[in-house]
Amino acid sequence: MILHRQPRVALGARNFFLLLSLVIASFAVRAAAGGFDQAIDRLQPRVVKLYGLGAGVQAGYGSGVVVSEDGLILTVSSLLIDAKVISVVTPEGVHYTAEIVRRDEKLQLALLRMTKQKSDQNETWPADSPSFDPVAGLFPFFDLACESVASSAQSSSLQPGDWIIAAGNAFKVADGPEPVSIAHGVFSARTRLDARRRVNDFPYTGEVLIIDGITSNPGAPGSAVVNIKGEFVGMIGRLVISNQTHTHLNYAIPRSVLCNFFLQAQGEDGTNDSTRSRESHEDRIDLGIKISKTGYRTVLPYVERVKRKSLADLAGVRKDDLILSINGRNVPDVAAYKAGLNRLDPGEPIEIVIRRGRVIKTIFIETKGP
Amino acid sequence: MFGRISYSASVLFLIFLLVPYTRHSMAIDDERSPGTEMQLLLDTQRACRSVLEATRPYIVRIDTVGGAQPTTQINTKGKEKEGEDPKPNPFRESTGSKFIVADGSTTGTIYSSDGYIVTSSFNFVREPVLISVTLADGRHVAADLIARDQVRKIALLKIEEDNLPTPPWKEREDVRTGEWAIAMGLGLGGRQPAVTVGIVSALQRMQGNAIQTDAKLSPVNYGGPLCDIEGKIIGLCVPMAQKPGELAGVEFYDSGIGFVVPKDRIDSIVETLKTGRSFHRGWLGMSTPRNRPDGVFVANMADPSPMREAGAQIGDRIAEIDGRKIKNFGHIIKATYMIAAGEDVEILLERGDEEITIQVTLARNIDLGPLPELSDSVDDAGTPNREGVE
Amino acid sequence: MLGTSEISFGQISAWVLAAAAIAFAPGRVDAVTPAESVLKAQAERIAMIDRVSSAVVAVFDTQQRGGGSGVIIDEQGYGLTNYHVVAGMLDKRKGLGGLSDGKLYDLEVLGIDPVGDVAMFRLVGRETFPFADLGDSDLVRVGDTAIAMGNPFTLSDDYSPTVTLGIVTGIHRYQWGVKGNLTYTDCIQVDTSINPGNSGGPLFNGDGEVIGVNGRISVNTRGRYNVGFGYAITSNQMRRFIPALRSGLVAAHGTLQATVKLDQNRETVLAEMLPAGALSRSGAQLGDRLLSIDGVRITSPNHFASVLGTYPGSRNVRVLIERENTKTESIVRLDPIPPKMRKPYIVDQEVNDREVRRVLAAFKGSARSDDTAEPFESLKWNVHRTHFALADRDVKADQLFAARVTTEGLFLTEHSPEENETIRIFSFDGKRATQRREGEEEFDLTTDRAMVLAALDLVFKTLMKPPGDTLPGNVRHAGGDAVFFERMKDMAGDLDAKAGARYLPAREAEVITWPIGEDAQARLQFDMDSHDLLRIDLEDDPSGVRVSLDLHDYEASGVLRLPKTIIVSGPGYRYQDSLSQWRVDP
């Protein structure tokens, strides 16, 4: 594997100073925390800048993660890749065009392939340039290692409070051969995404990694996220607003989800599992609860009627119960209650919290899988 | 110490030096053993995990049902008699921010083993009809909102439980600028708190009511604890800004500008809240003319109003409030936004050549009378400022 | 399959019970004990922050509306901030600065750099001020600790700064300006929380050295709040502008009057050049490869603009050019680009005079030991193997010269070592430079030789007599420059020699301009750190004759610190003189 060549500035002077600081040890000027080095070193050669279609607040630039040595790029599915020509700029400033291999609107993910080098008037490279030759296929990349069990173990070994480092083209600060921007923070929590873009609910409702560094910026979607050792843990998803807090959410799509998408994209089978399972599931959930439609200001989800021998009835839901939450998620009104039911996966155990008079009760309902 | 701040070499720096800078020669699949610097980060992350685990028992999830989005400007006058022409209250309450409050879960922190839970008043701005608390063991219990401090953004809940685990608190004088600060919250729902790590940014903020942190505070952790690296609570996460309003400060969410109320303030506030008494924004009950470069003058006073009762007169120049120099209208807000109704400020007035100090007990805006019509409005240049109208 | 929590049921209930067992021990939850290394590192950070935060300034206008931040960099209270922080105070050049001692001090706005968004101020009202050291921003790496301090949203009631921690997330960034001003070139990018009000405040490295001044952030649709993208002007860029800023000048940035493009080998080559422009004057030609500026390898056209943006105008830089496999390094004087300003910024003469006095006093501070506070009346030194370009004939290699400077003027005497008798006397009385020989008629020296004498006279007069409250007319502080010395063979550690480097890295200098007589002007360049006089350039206007004296190898010599080597360069000649002995007559 070829070593990545990072654009270097004043290498001579830099080494000189390093040498100097080593020699005159007692006057060290560099005692800064360099503990993020390894992660940054792995990130920067493996993240590319993307340029494409932009409109209004939708940035015409973005980020992508190189996931194969022949130039497959994982990124988000957005307006950007609808451009006639998707431009890819590698960390050393070489321009490529890319084509879409696959996109999934449910997951809001896309897989691109770098095709050919782009030449323009000022910047042309001969065949023997130090840049990477797409035909020979020698891009530094993150190996998703989807087949190995270790990869899922690695992703789940990430615990809340652990450092994470992200790299991407947010605000297109980095230009040409410049390395992309870094962001650091800690992994906050795992949660299921419940978010929206403008007025529309965001289609992806699976697991995400919440992070406390700010990643909800134009151009950031498609950034790679690694742990302190530089191991790939996820990719920054599209910009969304959390339904739970009404704040811009900083999150990454976990490696396991990316893997599923990547394997599908690689496979011959063109069907889209994530879409199929969810859509077909929505029709099947029937707990046998009818919700009251009356109420003041907000329509509170009071149970009006429970169908006899229904799942809810057998589990102990009663008329006039007020439903507070479904699977840990607050349901302040009827709409939220319905959304909560729709969010459920087939076979997922349901935990409903109800209030009956002054008593708060938790009721468990187990549904059958598909 | 006024002397030179200079770098001093120490043994520690020698340790760092032993880690050569190797970035330019790094191989891709190099499994480097962690260097000193990375080892420190690994140790820090381990410490954060431990703190997160230790705080788990006393962090509770709060779910509310009902209520509505607060309007930006609330007219809480509501005292007009029937048949009378309703006039808008000139002293309108503002929420302080246009932030849209979500209806997701929020966070609380167990205060005492007998069922008191401290949290942020932010979590109840929708005035919910029902409050449910989920304890760390998964039990859901109904909670009563005892009282709240809308100024310091604290609320007190009570659940019918005994023998609850209680947190260790850090005394304010032991907190240091630059120490680790770890915030937890259950605002994203579920059972596992979301964590954010920062440092203590400043010790005396919001007129001594708050400690500042650059941990990413947001509705995810308002009402949750901000802990030091040993798991002791530095303070309770709340939204705050240098202006009044229940939502003021939410606009800072995730920006690295965050505030927590430390133990000493929590204790004294909770003492009052336990009696069922809430704190509301305090008003002076006066208006000032716009755009006077020579200072801030009393243009009019509501009748009754705290200023009038304390003996202020129209035309007085407000020189200082609680020792703070007042040069423009904004300074009045900055001097009083953290003072609740019923609490006192000391105002230095200039009346001609005289300097007069008055003690003013602030009042709720609903207790203010109307602004009398003035025959001559010499001082009044344009629309006057009234406190809190932004 | 159904159930409620009251009935023990399957997996879920088991999980609930397990959780109850772990989490619900009543009573006070114990604190945890982190690793010793974590506590130690935290204690060091706390101590560092405590140490440097006293140097952080909350900057306000006199009405205390809004505000920014700043940092004091010396004990006299001089500090750095952003130009955009003081832009509203330029009418009176007055403001207020709050320190963490809780007090407000009067703030005086000094020089400004509108293009680079830097300004200097001085706080008054204290004998000495706490200050922070400027670090070397060339050593900053992505991933380094970056601590910002300042007064975001003017949150500080007691003027204690808000401290935020992050890392460096990019270096050598270029951020476009507004109509030519407020351009951030070669800046440091951080994810440290930086918000409105942080402007002008310091960015510290992990050691508490100032590596930059925070002045800009990227914001998204949320509004003007930190989203993890802050930009700081580097300490090394500011250091080059400090002499001009301290002396109250409007700093101009420099240009080479050239552009570069990437060639087929991805090397930067000269694409366009103004014929009379800076780079053109140095002999560079279109198509030459531009390898480096001041040792910084240029990687792209953007990088070229970014690196150049960190230099003031009328300043020397080392430029390494390659043509047909031959590398040539030359010193190029950058052309100044005056900043666009709505109103002209008139230099406050008092501020400038203060700087002249400070530089001259500091020079003497380095030249004289503390126990000789009194000015001395004359200074003598002996010279071996010297010419001083004065003797027009018959000078033997070991001829001994003796120079003597008194308040009357400068006298240079040529001795014969064998007979110990005077051969010739050169003298300069402030107006006339003459040569006199026993039994011969006195005659005026040629212009260039007269200028050398004038220069020597100037050096030693400034050594002998500290300037009082009144300065000689039209002596000005003219900002900073870089003084390059040519590499000498006996210099050890010839690190850059392979790259064809002819010159040693720059010594940052402060420039004082000093008129001599009617038409000539001297530029005195003092080392910014050691305060040694490094070089004197003299230019005679009518004749256009230029001479310069380089003063090297300063050594303690009795009560003085004096140069052992003087190099005189004039039209067509260059002599190096070693001074063997100095003597001071008190």
Please say whether the beta carbons of C148 and C192 come within 8 A.
yes
**Cβ–Cβ of C5/A35 closer than 8 Å?**
no
Are C245 and C128 members of one domain?
A: yes
User: B64 phi and psi, to 5 degrees?
Assistant: -125, 155
**Cβ–Cβ of C161/B56 closer than 8 Å?**
no
Are C242 and C324 members of one domain?
A: no
Last residue of a domain, one of C235, C250, C265: C250
Burial class, A315, CB count within 10 angstroms (exposed 0-12 / middle 13-18 / buried 19+): buried
Which residues are paired to C579 by β-bridges? C383
Please say whether the beta carbons of C166 and C189 come within 8 A.
no
**Cβ–Cβ of A188/B20 closer than 8 Å?**
no
Which residues are paired to B386 by β-bridges? B287
Please say whether the beta carbons of B120 and B237 come within 8 A.
yes
Sequence letter at residue C410: L
Q: What is the pLDDT of residues B25-34, one digit of tens each?
A: 233 333 446 6
**Going by DSSP bridges, is the β-strand pair B286-288/B385-386 parallel, antiparallel, or unpaired?**
antiparallel
CA distance B372 to chain C (A): 31
Please report, for the domain that includes residue C430, its CATH number: 2.50.20
Which residues are paired to B340 by β-bridges? B281
Residue A356 touches chain C, beta carbons under 8 Å: no
Token match 């307006």: residue? A79
Set of chain B residues whose Cβ sits within 8 Å of the Cβ of A248:
254
Token match 């509170």: residue? A300
Are C305 and C365 members of one domain?
A: no
Is the pLDDT higher at B307 or at C426? B307
Is C4 inside a domain boundary? Answer: no
**What does the pLDDT read at residue B354?**
92
Set of chain A residues whose Cβ sits within 8 Å of the Cβ of B33:
none
ipTM: 0.86
DSSP state of C385: S
CA distance C168 to chain A (A): 8
HSE-up of residue C108 (Cα within 13 Å, Cβ side): 15
**Cβ–Cβ of A245/B218 closer than 8 Å?**
yes
Token match 């490529």: residue? A96
* Contacts B–C by Cβ distance under 8 A: 202
Are C194 and C260 members of one domain?
A: no
Is C1 inside a domain boundary? Answer: no
The SS3 assignment for C496 reads coil
Catalytically active residues of C are 84, 117, 199
Closest CA to B197 of B178, B176, B181, B213: B181
**Going by DSSP bridges, is the β-strand pair C520-527/C533-540 parallel, antiparallel, or unpaired?**
antiparallel
CA distance A263 to chain C (A): 32
HSE-up of residue C370 (Cα within 13 Å, Cβ side): 0
Are C133 and C184 members of one domain?
A: yes
Are C121 and C194 members of one domain?
A: yes
Sequence letter at residue B319: A
Residue B115 touches chain A, beta carbons under 8 Å: no
Q: Within a 10 A sphere around the Cβ of C209, how many other Cβ atoms?
A: 25
In sequence order, the 6+-apart residues with CB closer than 8 A to the CB of C6 are none
Count: domains in chain C? 3
Is C136 inside a domain boundary? Answer: yes
Q: Within a 10 A sphere around the Cβ of C180, how many other Cβ atoms?
A: 12
Which residues are paired to C444 by β-bridges? C434
The tens-digit pLDDT sequence of chain A (370 residues) is 333 333 333 333 333 333 333 333 323 333 334 789 999 999 999 999 999 988 777 789 999 999 998 889 999 999 888 888 899 998 888 889 999 999 999 999 999 998 876 554 334 333 333 444 444 457 889 988 777 644 455 556 889 999 999 999 999 998 778 899 999 999 999 998 989 887 788 999 889 999 998 888 999 999 999 999 999 999 999 999 998 899 999 999 999 899 989 988 876 444 444 444 444 444 456 788 888 765 444 567 888 888 888 888 888 888 888 888 888 777 877 778 888 887 777 777 888 888 887 778 888 887 765 4
Are C77 and C178 members of one domain?
A: yes
CA distance B330 to chain C (A): 8
Are C319 and C368 members of one domain?
A: no
Angle C301-C306-C312 from CA coordinates, rounded to 5°:
125
Is C20 inside a domain boundary? Answer: no
**Cβ–Cβ of B257/C195 closer than 8 Å?**
yes
The tens-digit pLDDT sequence of chain C (586 residues) is 333 333 333 334 334 444 444 445 678 888 899 999 999 999 999 999 999 999 999 999 988 887 899 999 999 999 999 999 999 999 999 999 999 999 999 999 999 999 999 999 999 999 999 999 999 999 999 999 999 999 999 999 899 999 999 999 999 998 888 777 788 899 999 999 999 999 999 999 999 999 999 999 998 888 889 999 999 999 999 999 999 999 999 999 999 999 999 887 778 999 999 999 999 999 999 999 999 999 888 988 888 988 999 999 999 999 999 999 888 889 999 999 988 888 889 999 999 999 998 888 887 765 554 444 455 555 666 655 444 544 444 444 455 566 666 666 677 776 666 666 677 777 887 778 888 877 778 888 878 778 877 887 777 766 666 556 567 778 899 999 999 987 765 444 444 455 556 788 888 999 999 887 778 889 999 998 888 889 999 888 888 888 888 888 887 766 667 777 778 888 877 777 666 555 555 4
Are C66 and C208 members of one domain?
A: yes
**What does the pLDDT read at residue C415?**
66
Please say whether the beta carbons of C162 and C152 come within 8 A.
yes
Instruction: Check pLDDT > 50 for residue B12.
Output: no
Please report, for the domain that includes residue C48, its CATH number: 2.40.10.120
Last residue of a domain, one of C250, C271, C296: C250
Are C246 and C269 members of one domain?
A: no
Chain-centre distance of CA C351, in angstroms? 18
A9: nearest CB among C4, C167, C299: C299
In sequence order, the 6+-apart residues with CB closer than 8 A to the CB of C441 are none
Interface of B with A in 119-178 (CB under 8 A): 129-130, 132, 134, 138-142
Angle B119-B122-B125 from CA coordinates, rounded to 5°:
125
Which residues are paired to B130 by β-bridges? B65
Sequence letter at residue B357: T
**What does the pLDDT read at residue C418?**
65
Angle between helices A255-266 and A149-156 in degrees, nearest 10: 150
By C-alpha distance, the chain A residue nearest C496 is A12
What CA–CA distance (Å, rounded) separates C183 from C34?
44
Interface of A with C in 188-217 (CB under 8 A): 213-217
In sequence order, the 6+-apart residues with CB closer than 8 A to the CB of C323 are C285, C287, C288, C289
**What does the pLDDT read at residue B42?**
94
Are C290 and C367 members of one domain?
A: no
| Token output for C79 | 């500090």
Set of chain B residues whose Cβ sits within 8 Å of the Cβ of C153:
241-242, 252, 257
Q: Domains along chain A?
A: 11-26+35-123+132-266 (2.40.10.120), 283-365 (2.30.42.10)
Is C346 inside a domain boundary? Answer: no
- CA distances in angstroms from B7 to A249, B13, C51, C232, C311, listed in the order given: 40, 11, 10, 21, 27
Please say whether the beta carbons of A29 and C139 come within 8 A.
yes
Are C218 and C324 members of one domain?
A: no
**What residue numbers bound the domain in which C319 lies?**
253-337
Please say whether the beta carbons of B238 and C39 come within 8 A.
no
**What does the pLDDT read at residue A48?**
95
Q: Determine the residue among B36, B49, B98, B103 to mutate to test chain A binding: the one whose Cβ has the most chain A Cβ atoms within 10 Å.
A: B103
By C-alpha distance, the chain C residue nearest B111 is C28
In sequence order, the 6+-apart residues with CB closer than 8 A to the CB of C459 are C533, C536, C549, C551
Q: What is the pLDDT of residues B202-257, one digit of tens each?
A: 999 999 999 999 999 999 999 999 999 999 999 999 999 998 888 999 999 999 99
**Cβ–Cβ of C4/A316 closer than 8 Å?**
yes
Last residue of a domain, one of C306, C337, C368: C337
Is the pLDDT higher at C386 or at B301? B301
Please report, for the domain that includes residue C328, its CATH number: 2.30.42.10
Q: Domains along chain B?
A: 37-69+92-278 (2.40.10.120), 286-386 (2.30.42.10)
Is C543 inside a domain boundary? Answer: yes
Q: Determine the residue among A173, A175, A314 to mutate to test chain C binding: the one whose Cβ has the most chain C Cβ atoms within 10 Å.
A: A173
Closest CA to C152 of C229, C66, C82, C38: C66
The SS3 assignment for C339 reads coil
**What does the pLDDT read at residue B222?**
97
